[in-house]
A and B are shown apart, each in its own frame.
Chain A
Amino acid sequence: MRIRFVVMLAVILLAGSAMLVLAVPPSAGTIAGKVTYTGTPPKMKTIDMAKEPGCVKEHAASPVTTENVVTGPGNTLEWVVVYVSAGDQGSTPPAKPAEYHQKGCQYLPHVQVMQVNQALEIFNDDGWSHNIHPLSKANPEWNKSQPPGTPPIQAKYEKPEFIPVKCNVHPWMHGNFVVLNTSHYSVTGNDGAFSLKGLPPGKYTVSAWHEQYGSQSQEVTIAGSETKTLSFVFKATPY
């Protein structure tokens, strides 16, 4: 009788601890760090929007500058896409569409990341027409007019690609679509920081892409719930 009780207790305890182990999520690591530059980056130019008086008015308080090389204090580099370029065991595109805005004759955000086959919605928030012309090569190139008040343009890209985006009516408008095969990506802000979370143990190639300074990659191995620190340094040139 007593032995039976002990056995039962042991079974219950064992089952309980097994459940506890199962309840803990599989270990996931993080890759984080900073993107900086050495050398001399170009000075960003003030954009003359005189051809679209409405846009001049909108930015009267602080005129907009070009955004192809944006830097922060401590030589940090903004608008760098850091992503897993190899080793991701498969990412499905999120149901939520990526949202891209044309506002005050600017593209917001300047660098729009989306996954392959993720829905993309493009909005014209201005009171005048834009034509949105992503200059893709691996994916079909299209060019659509979007007058004010028209519904968002629905699009998606089937192949990974870095795509410059322009508006032919407002030639200073320039942005980027970055179409990736992975959900593990991060776009640096003014502090140059990035963080790729939720990475299962494995070997990864992490790449950093900047529209003017190109791409560079590093290999990282994630063993468990750890955070690996990584830094990317781009060589800046003034032109």
Chain B
Amino acid sequence: MKLMTCTFVLLLGSVCLLLTAGAKPCSAQIDIHIHTVTGPMESHVGDLTGNSEEGAKLYRRFCIGCHGPDGDGNGENAMWFDPTMGFAKPRDFTLAVFKCRSTTTGNLPTDEDLYNAISRGFVTTNMPQWKVLTPQERANLAAFIKTFSDRWKTQKAGTPISIPPEPPVNIEGILHGRVLFQKMECWKCHGPQGHGDGPSASTLTDSKDNPIRPYNFASGSRFKCGETNQDLYQIFMTGLDGTPMPSFADVIQPNDAWDLVHFLRTLQPLDTPEAALWNTYAAAHGKELKPIGPEQPGGGN
């Protein structure tokens, strides 16, 4: 009897031991410590309210490999991203500096900007589209990203810039946009033909001193921050913070900005209304146009 009790207790004890011992390595494997600096955060995207604690679970599963447990872009995959080959390093969320914003330069993006960036992904980088996640899940992730910097506690997100209605496309507007492309010196980085090969292109670095390439319009790919004319307008007005692309909001008037948008479209090998108008015009008058690029000595350009 005494022996039986003893055996039972021993058995029970070893079961407990097994249970605890068995559970520990399991949880240790999953439980990579994520280091955040704020408390729980929310995001508001349309009717959705994102929850950072839910977002943390998704981050652990889908994002941590590149963006890292500290959100600083130093995940275990990051070492394979070679900026000299044109592959941007993963975003460092601890700085709270974001390329794609509807807000003016130096300001935090809106929750919707974060949501859109997650959904859209970043073309020509390793960041894929996350449309496979539900809108609620993406809103949760947008909330979670905000827990990596206390800028989200101490500063308000900026207000989106206003984008006036797009005027109809016409050749006068495109030609004026072309003048602006020269005058604003877009060509110094993006190249006279928009091939991303301007005189300063090869020297460009992002704010972490990694090499970065200007957008090549001839690639015809989507832009980093969208694909519509509105997106294009927003890109050069707000600038892509953390990159060499500055904001032109203070120096380009809205109507001029639309002309520039329409001209930029003609640089892409796409079947757009702008390209159609331009091609017809260029076939007849191309030779009369002043070439874009450095002013020629003696003023004859």
B113 adjacent to chain A (CB < 8 Å) = no
> What is the size, in residues, of chain B's interface with A at 8 Å between Cβ atoms?
30
Q: Are the CB atoms of B251 and A146 closer together than 8 Å? A: yes
Residue among B106, B151, B204 having the largest count of chain A Cβ atoms under 10 Å: B106
Question: In the complex the two chains form, what is the Cα distance from A153 to B155 in whole Å?
Answer: 22
Residue in A137, A140, A145 whose beta carbon sits within 8 Å of that of B184 in the complex: A145
Q: Are the CB atoms of A143 and B95 closer together than 8 Å? A: no
Query: Which B residues are within 8 Å of any A CB, using their own CB?
Result: 95, 97, 105-107, 151, 155, 183-185, 188-189, 199-200, 203-205, 207, 239, 241-248, 250-251, 294
Within 8 A of B (CB), among A165-221: 168-171
Residue in B199, B200, B241, B247 whose beta carbon sits within 8 Å of that of A168 in the complex: B200
Chain A, interface residues (CB within 8 Å), range: 20 to 34
What's the minimum C-beta distance from B253 to chain A, rounded to whole angstroms?
12
Offer 8 A-B interface pairs, CB within 8 angstroms, sorted by A.
Answer: A133-B244, A133-B246, A140-B97, A141-B97, A144-B250, A145-B239, A147-B251, A168-B244
- Which residues of chain A are near B204, meaning CB under 8 Å? 168, 171
Q: Are the CB atoms of B246 and A140 closer together than 8 Å? A: no
Question: In the complex the two chains form, what is the Cα distance from A53 to B298 in whole Å?
Answer: 13
Q: Are the CB atoms of A143 and B200 closer together than 8 Å? A: no
Which 9 pairs from chain A and chain B are nearest by CB? A142-B106, A168-B244, A131-B246, A171-B203, A140-B106, A142-B105, A145-B246, A129-B185, A143-B246
Q: Are the CB atoms of B106 and A141 closer together than 8 Å? A: yes
Residue of B nearest to A138 (CB): B151
Known contacts A137-B95, A168-B204; A145 and B247 CB within 8 A of each other: yes
Query: Which A residues are within 8 Å of any B CB, using their own CB?
Result: 51, 53, 128-129, 131-133, 135, 137, 140-147, 150, 153, 168-171
- Which residues of chain A are near B244, meaning CB under 8 Å? 131, 133, 143, 168-169
Residue in B106, B188, B294 whose beta carbon sits within 8 Å of that of A169 in the complex: B188
Q: Are the CB atoms of B185 and A169 closer together than 8 Å? A: yes
Residue in A143, A145, A168 whose beta carbon sits within 8 Å of that of B251 in the complex: A145
Residue of A nearest to B248 (CB): A145
Residue of A nearest to B108 (CB): A140
- Which residues of chain A are near B251, meaning CB under 8 Å? 145-147, 150
Question: In the complex the two chains form, what is the Cα distance from A147 to B180 in whole Å?
Answer: 11
Q: Are the CB atoms of B245 and A147 closer together than 8 Å? A: no
Residue among B246, B247, B250, B251 having the largest count of chain A Cβ atoms under 10 Å: B246
Question: In the complex the two chains form, what is the Cα distance from A56 to B207 in whole Å?
Answer: 27
- Which residues of chain A are near B107, meaning CB under 8 Å? 140
Residue in A51, A129, A153, A171 whose beta carbon sits within 8 Å of that of B250 in the complex: A153
Q: Are the CB atoms of A129 and B97 closer together than 8 Å? A: no
Question: In the complex the two chains form, what is the Cα distance from A141 to B207 in whole Å?
Answer: 9
Besides A143-B239, A171-B205, 17 more A-B contacts (Cβ < 8 Å) are: A51-B200, A131-B244, A133-B244, A140-B155, A141-B106, A141-B242, A142-B247, A143-B105, A143-B244, A144-B247, A145-B184, A145-B246, A147-B184, A150-B250, A169-B185, A169-B188, A169-B244
